[in-house]
């Protein structure tokens, strides 16, 4: 069984503004712990996936910085989409490229900007997912046992083990009964209480031929469009061909386009301390805190300050009598946000975009 990784690194992580920007997005930053998120994403695949089998799909604004951060990945494995078109086109593109090399290979699709606390457990469960994908030809997703009624994630409901062999069932492999969009809070609370709903992590494992068949069945137009690229793979005219094809493609997510319709979706219940680090609140949750509940990096003077997240950008920050704030300074922009409200940082980014203040995006 040959393993390949396709790492989706095209996002901006705009709710982590002002640190995450189009040219230095979340996956290229050290947000939690050591190393940047993309570096950690690749490191935790070792030694399972050799570097030459790691493909990164990104965009033109990020590709130079990316190349510097992961020099161990061959340059031809870094693919710059001319435009972001959500996850399905990105996966279809990778499927065409890998289908040429190894249709029996197992493809691991990972977002570049997730945090995983327990790498050992992650690797063990990823191994199970690869075995299930290889043996059953199913579309395997890693489902995360929820720890709170989160309304910011999609969910999936664990189904029966029909047709799952004993040795895979024992290792936690099940059919997916249904996928659910981001719920409202009462629904999220019911999901949490039910015990059989898991967070949809956006990490997928499948054989190249299995996802190719699913794309052909559920997204035939997209499949046809990317098929035009097959002859260009590995040739100098690839980028040009990519641009022509991407101009025609409609954006669609793999969840909505394929997973929700597929009859062979499988899930593994995972518990390795996962987070999408999608907001400053989530970053605070993951960060180490002192006795006052503060998470501070940089030169900071605190007077009667509690539950506050502070990241400096060189200058000193003093806080006096404040609780439960998020303070993120950068050389050209500063965010002060109430904890629990950090989803709304998106509104700031939207405003800057409307006002075309591109230097801050």
The residues of the shown chain that bind a copy of itself, judged by CB under 8 A, are 17-18, 301, 303-304, 315-322, 325, 327, 329, 331-338, 340-342, 344-345, 347-348, 351-352, 357, 360
Under 8 Å between Cβ of 291 and 277: no
Secondary structure string (H, E, C) spanning 107-170: EEEEECCCEECCHHHHHHHHHHHHHHHHHHCCEEEEEECCCCCCCCCCEEEECCCCCCCHHHHH
The smaller minimum CB distance to a copy of itself, of residues 269 and 285, is found at: 285
Helix (H) / strand (E) containing 294: none
Residues contacting 233, CB < 8 A, separation 6+? 96, 97, 100
- For residues 175 and 157, give the distance between their C-alpha atoms in angstroms, rounded to a whole number: 9
142, 110 Cβ separation under 8 angstroms: no
Q: How far is the CB of 330 from a copy of itself (least distance, A)?
A: 8
Q: Is 166 or 359 the residue whose CB approaches a copy of itself more closely?
A: 359
Q: Between 81 and 329, name the residue whose CB sits nearer to a copy of itself.
A: 329
Minimum distance from CB of 216 to a copy of itself (Å)? Answer: 44
Q: 250 vs 344, which CB is nearer to a copy of itself?
A: 344
In angstroms, what CA-CA distances link 321 with 223, 327, 348? 58, 14, 25
CB of 360 to a copy of itself, least distance (A): 6
Compute the distance between CA of residue 82 and CA of residue 59 in angstroms, rounded to an integer. Answer: 6
For a copy of itself, the closer CB: 250 or 338: 338
Q: How far is the CB of 295 from a copy of itself (least distance, A)?
A: 15
Supply the minimum distance, in Å, between the C-beta of residue 344 and a copy of itself: 5
């Amino acid at each position: 069984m040959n393993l390949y990784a396709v790492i989706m690194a095209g996002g901006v992580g705009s709710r982590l503004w002002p640190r995450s920007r189009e040219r230095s997005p979340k996956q290229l930053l050290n947000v939690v712990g050591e190393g940047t998120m993309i570096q950690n994403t690749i490191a935790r695949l070792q030694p399972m996936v050799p570097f030459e089998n790691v493909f990164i799909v990104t965009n033109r604004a990020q590709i130079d910085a990316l190349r510097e951060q992961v020099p161990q990945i061959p340059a031809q494995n870094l693919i710059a989409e001319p435009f972001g078109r959500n996850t399905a086109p990105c996966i279809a593109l990778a499927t065409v490229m890998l289908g040429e090399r190894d249709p029996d290979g197992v493809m691991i699709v990972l977002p570049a900007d997730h945090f995983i606390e327990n790498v050992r457990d992650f690797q063990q469960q990823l191994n199970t997912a690869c075995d299930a994908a290889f043996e059953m030809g199913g579309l395997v997703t890693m489902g995360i046992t929820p720890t709170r009624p989160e309304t910011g994630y999609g969910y999936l409901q664990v189904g029966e083990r029909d047709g799952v062999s004993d040795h895979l069932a024992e290792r936690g492999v099940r059919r997916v009964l249904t996928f659910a969009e981001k719920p409202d809070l009462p629904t999220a609370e019911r999901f949490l209480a039910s015990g059989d709903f898991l967070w949809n992590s956006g990490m997928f494992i499948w054989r190249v031929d299995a996802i190719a068949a699913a794309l052909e069945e559920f997204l035939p137009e997209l499949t046809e469009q990317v098929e035009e690229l097959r002859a260009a793979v590995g040739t100098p005219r690839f980028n040009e061909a990519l641009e022509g094809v991407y101009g025609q493609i409609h954006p669609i997510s793999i969840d909505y386009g394929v997973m929700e319709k597929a009859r062979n979706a499988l899930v593994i219940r995972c518990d390795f301390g996962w987070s999408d680090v999608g907001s400053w609140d989530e970053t605070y949750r993951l960060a180490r805190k002192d006795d006052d509940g503060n998470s501070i990096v940089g030169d900071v003077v605190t007077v009667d300050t509690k539950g506050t997240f502070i990241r400096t950008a060189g200058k000193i920050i003093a806080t006096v009598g404040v609780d439960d704030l998020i303070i993120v300074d950068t050389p050209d922009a500063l965010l002060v946000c109430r904890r629990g409200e950090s989803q709304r940082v998106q509104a700031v980014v939207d405003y800057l975009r409307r006002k075309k203040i591109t230097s801050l995006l």
